[in-house]
Amino acid sequence: MDQGQARRQRLYRLSGIVLRRRDLGEADRLLTVFTRDRGKVTLLAKGVRRAASRKAGHLEPFTHTDLLVAKGANLDLVTQAETIDAHRHVREDLWLSSLAYAAAELADAFTVDEDPNAALFDLLLDTVGRLDSGQPSSLAMRYFELHLLALVGYQPQLFHCVHCSRPLEPVVNFLSLDRGGCLCPQHGANVDGTIALPLDVLKVLRYLQAHPWEQIAVLQLRPEVLAQVESILARYIVYHLERTLRAPVFLEKLRRALIAPKE
- 3-class DSSP state of 111: coil
Would you place residue 8 in the very low, low, confident or very high pLDDT band (cuts 50, 70, 90)?
low
Q: Quick one: pLDDT at residue 63?
A: 96
Q: Is the pLDDT of residue 120 over 70?
A: yes
| pLDDT, average across residues 166-186 | 97
Higher-pLDDT residue of 260 and 225 is 225
Contact 215, 246 (CB under 8 A): no
| Domains delineated in the chain | 3-86 (2.40.50.140), 90-258 (1.20.1440.120)
Question: Using CA of residue 228, residue 184, residue 177, residue 155, what is the dihedral sign?
Answer: negative
Q: Is the pLDDT of residue 7 over 60?
A: no
Q: Is the pLDDT of residue 160 over 60?
A: yes
Bridge-based pairing of strands 28-35 and 76-85 is unpaired
| pLDDT, average across residues 134-145 | 98
Return mean pLDDT, the chain. Answer: 94
Q: Where does the chain have alpha helices with state H?
A: 3-10, 88-91, 94-109, 118-132, 137-151, 185-188, 199-210, 213-216, 223-241, 246-258
Contact 3, 90 (CB under 8 A): no
| pLDDT, average across residues 37-52 | 94
Pairwise CA distance, residues 37 & 15, whole Å: 9
Q: Quick one: pLDDT at residue 52?
A: 85
Work out the percent of the chain whose per-residue pLDDT is above 90.
Answer: 89
The pTM of this model reads 0.93
